[in-house]
Structure 1
Amino acid sequence: MKRRDFLAGGLAGGVGLAMGGHARAQARGTIRFLTPETDPSQVKVWQELITRYTEANRGAAVQPEYASWDDLIRKIPADLMAGRPPEIVAGSSRVSFMAAAAKRNLLVDLAPLVDQIGRADFHAPSLKAWHLNGIQAAIPYGVQWPVLWCRTDLFQEAGLELPKTWDEYRAAAEKLTNPARGMFGACFPAGRTWNTQIQATIAIWGAGGRMFDDKLNPTFDTPEIRRAMTYYAEMCRFSPPDIGQYGFREASAAYTSGKAATTFYWGRVLSHLYQQAPDLLPKSKTVHIPHGGTPATALGWDEFVVYKSRNTNAALDYVKFMLEPQHMFMMMEPVIAHVVPTRTSVMPMVERHDWVQKHPDIVRPLIEPIDFGISATQETPDRPFNYKWDAIEARNIIPDMVQRIVLGKEPVNIAVEKAQKEAVDATKDLRP
């Protein structure tokens, strides 16, 4: 996939948008802005954008609210039941969750806003990924995928090449693991968390497996998935002993603290290294996730979603403000290379950033276009959107399977068989 193809394109559709510019925000109430993007540096940017917006629009008010990724899908339904959803959700990356909201007619169609801003400047496949239930349910401002962070100094000392395959990674992780020194070669999470789910699904895809067939029937009990979960359990042996509690933050901290020689993560680790362990910057490099025969990684987005409310017009105005190129860059700058901007006009600002210039071996796999990213809601390009995936996520079927294998020492074939039954039960009554 070429950069010009990756960063340009269009998507048809949309209805009229009733917006009267910044002045309309003045007559509205407080805009609730909910996000799981809670790094201190990121929070600082959110606050700066709010200040700029409210100073430019006297009478406007934006109330930021923060929740973890795992708590987000519990908080929003509670707010909906209370009759007061957040006007804006930023960076949830939960496509299936938002698809369910679009089906319930809870979301504003953002296609007119895309057209108003300039559709040709947006990455068309990212817009298409969020075109749900006949509407533009979200506007993605960044597309992202995880990579493997590696301590090059430790690999060199051990005479190892950076891994490309499961066999290479397994051998390297075993050689680099030294519990007496508090050093572990890998960092495979086993918490009941979203991070565990994503890393396990990448292992499944890397084995050539799929969790649903072309007719959207669950296919967890297959040789490929059993092989993937066997590999996952093996790699947990070379991971820190507290992985049963690991989510995103713990996986990053294991690397930046020197506990793990490798970790599976997105570009945010670069900012964490600058903040917490700058001495590791010259000793770090990223490579694409090692695979078991099929290159694969998880494709995700940071996006803006607008819930229908009495403040809809004000919320749309604020989203438009945040999507201005300089403001988009402000959102990305503290965690540069964590996401690739979805507007062509923002990419040159990213490429000029000092960290990008200084660390090409880290940044290149994070921002150069790939053609092996997979979304759980559409595991292959030719199949329909998987409306059943939200039920799998909601029941934590994959993290529970991992925990039974890794923490409960349950045989892989039994754990996978249970996951298949749970998946069938969770999805049997669902309809498009």
Structure 2
Amino acid sequence: MSAPSAAKPPSAAKAPSAAKAPPFDPGDPLGLDDLLTPEDLAIRDTVRAWAADRVLPYVADWYERGELPGVRELARELGGLGALGMSLTGYGCAGASAVQYGLACLELEAADSGIRSLVSVQGSLAMYAIHRYGSEEQKERWLPAMAAGETIGCFGLTEPDHGSDPSGMCTRARRDGGDWVLTGRKMWITNGSVAGVAVVWARTDDDGGEGGGDIRGFLVPAGTPGFSAPEIIHKWSLRASVTSELVLDEVRLPGDAVLPGAVGLRGPLSCLGHARYGIVWGSMGAARSCFESALQYARTREQFGRPIGGFQLTQAKLADMALELHKGILLAHHLGRRMDAGRLRAEQVSFGKLNNVREAIEICRTARTVLGANGISLEYPVMRHATNLESVLTYEGTSEMHQLVLGKALTGLDAFR
């Protein structure tokens, strides 16, 4: 038997040619835009263009003056974009995906944390509370106007003496016939003095009335006798934002002012979880703005006869900033997909908030060193973002609280007390 001849490949069979990689994009070094749908990109670009037109030219002046002029007009414009309560469905809400809402938060906070806070408190706290826990009558009364930005909402949970531990709240709601009477104070309330309705959390009386000592949510319309919202001034963070105290002095509300679906702390905490998710994205917007400023500055600022971006130490800073920025955006995107699939856990939101805000602050501080003395000027956004992020670090749960959330999840042991 003769030996078989060596097989020859068919002439038509050729090794597949490697796909040509696109050029490296300093603005998207990981190619994360590939994860987004055309609709995702359209929403992102729409919000980015609005912020570039309506916020960026003015926000340094707003920040320096410590005010947010025209907030009601801005709210109506944001409502026209579909950015208010955008991940909610029905009642005039956009019904967008969690990822699309996150992209909007990123673009808004790239302009300023105060603008993103306006949207987060409106949609993720006030509107979300009504949408999830309100009666049909409450939803019909408030949500369409809030989605359009015609009515601004606020969310009253934090108190002067109770922040991280809301279970100790002192605000009380007692029954008086068919009415509720609320007394207490809330502190550090975004949108408070411009809100048409406040979602206020209070501990009910324990004399056998409805709730029996439980924490309940109440809808308090602006102008209700005994209710006031003095604005907090002398802030050095979130200066382009409306921050207020809520004062409730024997505020009488009808029996149907209570949110029927929320009993106990689970109600307000679920709202906070929704808002924290927006912060996971938004903090990366502030970080991106600072990184882009540092990158542009490094390309054009000359020392020792050449751009400082040509020095190894500056390049090391830029590389580290880009690394953490885009890792954070990738983390936010992953959590968004989990939320859209109904698989996102509160511990995972804590993971994202803890990491991304912490890294955003470090990116801002590093960017400040690249800009040198110019980094403290409002001609650049870096110091404004850095001071804003000091508030973002502690609201919707301090870093320590999120560390303890993760610690409990990892060990099974509760270290909060």
TM-score range, shorter chain: under 0.3
Larger of the two Rg values belongs to structure:
2
TM-score normalised by the chain length of structure 2: 0.24
